[in-house]
Structures are given as structure tokens and as C-alpha cells.
Amino acid sequence: MAVLLITFWVPTTNAGDSSQETSTTNTTTSAQELAKQKHNPFADQITLPLQISSELEVGPGNGTTAGLEFEPAIPISLGPNWKVIARPDLSVLDSEPPHRKFGLGDIELETYLTPGLFDKWVWGVGPALQAPTATASELGTGKWSAGPAVGLIYISGPWVNGILAHHLWSFAGQRDRAEVNQSTIEPFISYNFESGWFLGFDSTMTADWNADPDKRWTVPIGLDVGKTFQMGKQSLSLQFGTYNNVLRAEGVGRWLVRVQVTLTLPRHSADTEEK
């Protein structure tokens, strides 16, 4: 990850020097745009979100679980008209009682091929891969899994709305573990104010197609509130959200509470202005 950041940071710094005056001119009116960029997973920028979450009322004992998740979005240019967005997902998990386990979860990577130039609609397609890196059986699937990933985003005025989805099938791994056949759907809606404040809905819905129908879906419904601050050419976003799992699979809590800190590093200021 450090190598990737250095790779993208160096050209950003050099390009930023030549467009410093233009970037400074837009600073006074960019609070809303910075908030919108934070919510656009296909934007031409490096996004580094760190999220701490906790599930409440888990299992028959109404226990709690916790997680620390890091899911950056890293654009890789393929020329003037195309790019690949890499979204690795790394997590540290604390499982439900009474047999509580703490450690690393499975690592997941989503990649999206998307046009480098776009208007109000942005789309992306690519593969998703999950590796069995969990340090305890309770924290992962024990399987190598892969499948397709798709995304569609709509940007207009203060709104950034869209959906990301991927499906995973297991193809290798521990033979004594259950096969993976799971869909993940992430619809998101955000309204971004001129001040940099924003309201958003960002729900990660999952469906385990191997589970019984009444325990298959997890559907969180709730709201996030946050604010984006400018820090030189970078921006920092802070947000807090509460969600209720109106449908939940076995082992999932009734409530989800989360806090997220996101650092955004713009790569190409001039290209972003053209878009």
C-alpha cells in the first residue's frame, strides 16, 4: 500500500505545482465539490477511508461485535479515456460472544474498469476476489472466492447516488468449510451542502444463497451525517452513522453504529476540473 501511495503521490505533486494558481482559485467554492468527490468511488483520486463499527444485540445473548475496516479506492490510469479503480478491503474483526475471537478477516479486492471521462452517469465493471486470510475460522470463510463486480453512479448538483454490487463463488480452499455463494449490494445516496456538510445513506446489503430463506438477507437501513474539511490540496471527511438491520442473517446484530474518517488525495487537479 505504501508503494502504491508513493507511486501516485509523486505525479500528483509535480502536476499540482503547475496548476497551483487554478486550484487556489477554486478553493473558496470547493467545499461542496470535495464532499461530492468523497462519495464518488470512481473519482480520479485516492480515497483512504478508515471505519470503526459495532453491531449491537447480536445473538441470543444480545452481545456486541466490532470491526475496523480500511477500504481505499485507488485509480490506475490506462490512458486518456480509461482507468481501473482498485478497491481492496482489509478488516480487523471481533466476533460475537461467548466464543469471542479477535483478528484479521478475509481480504477482498474489487476492481472496476471505467471511462476516464464522464458526465452525470459513471459505470464500471470488473472482477472481485476474496482471499482466506482470516486468523480464525469464526472471522472468515476459509475459501478462495471470485466473481463479477458492477457499479453505476449518478452525479447531479448536490447529489451523488449510485450502486455497487458483486457476487462471489468459492473455487478453492478448506474442504471442510461451507461453499461461498454470496451477493453484496451497496446502494448509496448523498446530499452534499455548500458548507461541506452532507447527509447520506450507504447500506451494505448481503445475501447468502446457501442459507435458509428466512436467514439469507442482511439489509441495514439508516443515515450518515458528516462534514468534509479542506487541508491544502487534500480533504478530510468525518462522519457518523446508525443503521437498523431490518433483515438480518444468523449472527448479525440488530443495530449497526459506525464512525468513519476519510482522507482524499486528488491525483490530477486539471483533469478533474475538465470533468
Integer distance in angstroms from the first to the last C-alpha of the chain? Answer: 27
The pLDDT tens digits for 184-240 are: 999 999 999 999 999 999 999 999 999 999 899 999 999 999 999 988 888 999 999
Which domains does the chain show, CATH number per domain? Answer: 2-24+34-274 (2.40.160.40)
CB-based contacts of 13, cutoff 8 Å, min separation 6: none
Question: Shortest CA distance to 241 belongs to which of 96, 71, 53, 47?
Answer: 53
In angstroms, the CA 53 to CA 169 distance is 26
CA dihedral of 23, 24, 25, 31, whole degrees rounded to 10: 80
Among candidate residues 275, 13, 39, 273, the one with its CA nearest the CA of residue 153:
39
| DSSP 8-state secondary structure symbol assigned to residue 50 | E
pLDDT per residue as tens digits for the range 104-160: 999 999 999 999 766 789 999 999 999 999 999 989 999 999 999 999 999 999 999
3-state secondary structure of 133: coil
Residue 8's pLDDT is: 38
Total residue count of the chain as it appears in this document: 275
Give tens-digit pLDDT for 42-71. 988 999 999 999 999 988 778 899 999 999
Q: How far apart are CA 179 and CA 2, in angstroms?
A: 34
Single-letter code of the amino acid located at 9: W
Rounded alpha-carbon distances, angstroms, from residue 21 to 13, 43, 208, 233, 267: 14, 22, 51, 12, 16
Q: Is 118 helix (H, G, I), strand (E, B) or coil?
A: coil
**100: confidence class by pLDDT, cuts 50, 70, 90:** confident
